[in-house]
A and B are shown apart, each in its own frame.
Chain A
Amino acid sequence: MLETDAGSGPAGVGEALPPVTLAVHDLAKRYGQRGIFRGVSFTLQPGQSLAITGRNGSGKSTLVRILCGLLRPSAGTVAYHLGERPATPRERRGLIGLVAPDLILYEELSALENLRFFARVRGLQRSAAALEALLAEVGLEGRGADLVGTFSSGMRQRLKYAYALLHRPPVLFLDEPTANLDEAGVAMARACIARQRATGILVIATNDHEELQFGDRILRLGG
């Protein structure tokens, strides 16, 4: 696990958060006249996971973007609760981690510069050693100084895991979690999935039958 710099974090770092609940009610998305999905409802609590599947264009990635707050739904609600109370927008940002194909990190910056930047905008202080440890955890040890623009697609996918895990989010969304990864990368992703299933909320969007088993529940879109 990534070490947290003792005493270097902002107030509240390491504090126990109340249990997080993700409650989705009657969610629908349409683009113009074309309905993508509707009537999606579920509730997830720590230790629970959901696998979203469906044919291409059924709205898996769209649903993940809506759950992360990156896209507005056409109808329905997505609510994050900390204990009994709803999370504020800032708290919500701290709760969510995302790995997705359309999530791109800065190519002009090195891997370490990317992580340092995202740590700072999240109000976290992370030493170079802690960031290097995170890179090592995703299999990018020794590549921290390299520009992301020079990375292969598999290395970029690994860096997305580092970005998503930077703040150890209680809710982790993985859209096509093993895309572009080699065997070692898939093992890293599965270790991450296993950890998240044990401690937090996990949502996976995939069409891979092996990955579907990581969901306690399966949500099939488009049919």
Chain B
Amino acid sequence: MTTKSCSSATASSGWVGEAGAVFWKDLRAELRSRYALNAMAIFAVTTLVVVSFSLGPQALPPPAVAALLWVVLFFAAIASLSRVFLREEEAHTAAALRLAAEPVHVYLGKLLFNLVLLLALDVLLVPLFLALMQARSGNLWLLALVLLLGSVGLAGATTIVAALIAKAAARGALFGGLAFPLLLPLLLAAVSGTRRALEGASCAAAGAELRLLVSFAVVMITASILLFEYVWSE
């Protein structure tokens, strides 16, 4: 007996289309529910206000501004990016997704969603932060490049950690606890690169930091793609 199926078990429209579907689904759901956006915005605004009020009119040197900026970005990411898998587990939608989607497409779609969220945060937060800190970027292109590469690495690491902790009981503490040591090399390179950008250094002068940021993102995303199936399977 031969089974005729409208579907094809071997059919494929390509990983871009399938990962893109996961991304658009998450984006649409986020724009309607605003779980992650609200968490991120509240944390970022609160931190900015507290820092600017505590410092008053005093201008900080570039190393302190760079460190503060990445502290804010890191904690805003911690507060919101874990939602990407938590929401699937809490709403019990993960089973439907597991049954239908290729694990690597789920990871890539969720990575893209977290990256877009982080880049949106960068665009909104960084100008405001620099204005409140009375800091200027001496090399705007370098600052943009460091933020972009740092955000890719941050999204790559937080997405896989979010998948790891989604089924755990003490998720909040676990997410920060696991993400921080993993992200330490990235944060150090990003802070150093941002400091150089604020001081007006050239891209060549920040070569070491940029190489580290690229390497971190490549290693983290590659390892995540390879490991995600084991993390995602129940």
| A contacts, CB < 8 Å to B | 2, 4, 9-20, 45-47, 65, 68-72, 82, 87-88, 90-96, 98, 100, 102-109, 113, 117-118, 120-125, 163, 166-170, 199-200
Contacts and interface: CB of A to CB of B under 8 A. Distances in A.
Nearest to A104: B92
Given A109-B25, A121-B21, A122-B100, A91 B95 contact: no
B5 A113 contact: no
A121 B99 CA distance: 10
A108 B33 contact: yes
Given A94-B9, A108-B28, A117 B21 contact: yes
B101 interface: yes
A4 B6 CA distance: 7
A71 B167 CA distance: 13
Interface in B34-53: none
A94 B1 contact: no
A93 B100 contact: yes
B102 A93 contact: yes
Interface of B: 1-14, 17-18, 20-22, 24-25, 28-29, 32-33, 91-93, 95-102, 105, 233-234
Contacts of B4: 14, 16-17, 199
B101 A121 contact: yes
A170 B5 contact: yes
Interface of A is mostly: loop
9 contacts: A10-B12, A68-B99, A69-B99, A90-B12, A102-B95, A106-B91, A113-B25, A113-B28, A123-B14
Given A46-B3, A93-B102, A121-B105, A17 B9 contact: yes
Contact of A87 (B9, B28, B97): B9
Given A93-B101, A121-B102, 4 more contacts: A9-B8, A95-B9, A104-B93, A121-B101
Ranked nearest first, the 9 interchain pairs of A and B with the lowest CB-CB distance are A167-B7, A94-B9, A12-B8, A91-B9, A120-B21, A10-B11, A121-B101, A168-B6, A108-B29
A163 to B, nearest CB: 7
